[in-house]
Structure 1
Amino acid sequence: MYTEDTGASVVHSGDYDLIDVDQDTIFANGVHFHTTMVEGTLQAKLITGERLIINNGTVRCSGTIRVTSISGCGTLEVKGNLICDSIELIGSLYSEGNIRCSGDLTVTGKLSNIHRINADSVHLNGVVQGNSIYGRTLLMQPLCSTMYSRFGMTNYQERSNVSNIHAQEVDAHKLTCQTLHADTAALRDGSAVQNVICSTTLGLDRTSNVLLLAGNCQRIHLRTA
């Protein structure tokens, strides 16, 4: 590792057991790690390894991220695809490519994705802005705390907006969606969906609505919180 004229440290290509990023750091191409801990700011064209842990840091990748797991608290920005087994992040995740997660994807804060999200289980606490989400289960609920408005963090309390959702089971709050395919779905807290294709059960509270409904499903009324 050495320091560029810009003041950023550079990690050269190679295999590393542990990389501790506690300042502005750049990964050269060819870096592979078992664990990277990010407490400062990490920039890279490609990120490849096992465990990426963000500890109140920021990760910016202009290409693809391919790791086993992503966890921690902070900001993750990726312009290419994000491929992993699991994500458990508190903070913000911004993706301009596809997100492919073979296991669970959990974000508390804000998730923004331009293309497609694929995961076994998707659990979103906060706000999601996305194009398409595919998963076995999808749970979306807002963050309910006066702390966010008090400190001007209103972006964590916006409505979620997703164009297309395909899942076996969906439970969504404050969602705006064009098309939702599900076996069972529950829509709450002012959710509004244009087209729903549901095969088993569709639940709506009195604040939510569906414009067009297709499929042989039972429609039930949910109690408003």
Structure 2
Amino acid sequence: MNLNTFSNYISRGNYDVLISHGNAALSPDVTFDTLVIKGILQTTCCRGRRIIIDGGMLNASGGIATALLSGHGCVTAGKSIEATAITFIGELSTAYTLKANHCVQVNGVLSAKSLTTKHATIVGHIDIGQSAQIHNLEVMPMHTAMFERFGMNKYLKANSIEQIVADNVTLSNTICRTIDADAISLSHHTQVRKAIYSKELKFDRTSNVTVIEHRRSEDTDDGIQRKVA
């Protein structure tokens, strides 16, 4: 069943394609293959194969589970966000874990208690309160004059990730307590309290690492076991 609705409440049902306009609430008993959000959608939890934000907003007081989360807009979750892949432009936030089996690509703001995925590329701002466990992590700044002009201060603050366990890490303008990785590259005022590496550590003159530990090659195989499978 397909539904293209402007209703303020979407009742229980099994939908193939569900398109929501305007300001609506989603029944927790709704299941879907594809959900397209063009307005503001409130729900306790949201589960389906594909969630596409088309300039809208998804606000879940519980968790979000999907194979693919994509589009542009705003997504917030009171509990965990779980997906196979995330490709998103805008603001993505969860009070708990963000987990993607394959990849996370965000242009905008990403905020979570913890992050687990194979590959993550963040262009903009990231705030991870506890740990990030990733094969490859790249954090890059988003350059535009409109942030100061329109008071978008969250984009101007330094990124914050408490702890990173990874294979390859590239950070820009980030504050981090601990990084444990094979290769680490730091730039644009990145500050790290402790960096543990096995292959390469490099940082520009604006960045700083307080404690550097070079993991011996014979320890590398054991170290890999701590990283994301």
Per the normalisation by structure 1, the TM-score is 0.90
Equivalent residue for 2:81?
82
8 Å Cα contact 1:143-1:157 kept in structure 2: no
Equivalent residue for 2:225?
none
Superposed, which structure 2 residues align to 1:130-141 within 5 Å? Answer: 130-131=128-129, 132-141=131-140
Letter in 2 for 1:130: I
What SS does the aligned partner of 1:85 have?
A: strand
What SS does the aligned partner of 2:148 have?
A: helix
What residue ranges of structure 1 are gaps of 5+ in the alignment? 218-225
> d(CA) in 2 for partners of 1:8 and 1:31?
14
Superposed, which structure 2 residues align to 1:99-110 within 5 Å? Answer: 99-110=98-109
> d(CA) in 2 for partners of 1:172 and 1:51?
30
8 Å Cα contact 1:126-1:156 kept in structure 2: yes
> d(CA) in 2 for partners of 1:35 and 1:185?
39
Equivalent residue for 2:195?
196
Letter in 2 for 1:30: D
Equivalent residue for 2:156?
157
* Deviation (angstroms), 1:157: 2.3
> d(CA) in 2 for partners of 1:194 and 1:99?
24
What SS does the aligned partner of 1:67 have?
A: strand
> d(CA) in 2 for partners of 1:11 and 1:22?
11
What SS does the aligned partner of 2:51 have?
A: strand
> d(CA) in 2 for partners of 1:184 and 1:192?
16
> Is 1:63 matched with 2:62?
yes
Equivalent residue for 2:125?
127
Equivalent residue for 1:222?
none
The Cα offsets for residues 65-117 of structure 1, whole Å up to 9 and x where unpaired, read as 1111111111100011111101111111111011110011011111111x211
Equivalent residue for 1:10?
9
What SS does the aligned partner of 1:190 have?
A: coil
* Runs of 4+ with >4 A deviation: none
The Cα offsets for residues 21-52 of structure 1, whole Å up to 9 and x where unpaired, read as 11111111221111111110011111010110
What residue ranges of structure 2 are gaps of 5+ in the alignment? 217-229
> Is 1:144 matched with 2:143?
yes
> d(CA) in 1 for partners of 2:114 and 2:215?
27
* Deviation (angstroms), 1:181: 0.8
Equivalent residue for 1:209?
208
Per the normalisation by structure 2, the TM-score is 0.89
What is the Cα-based RMSD across aligned positions, in Å? 1.6
Equivalent residue for 1:44?
43
> d(CA) in 1 for partners of 2:111 and 2:215?
33
> d(CA) in 1 for partners of 2:12 and 2:198?
51
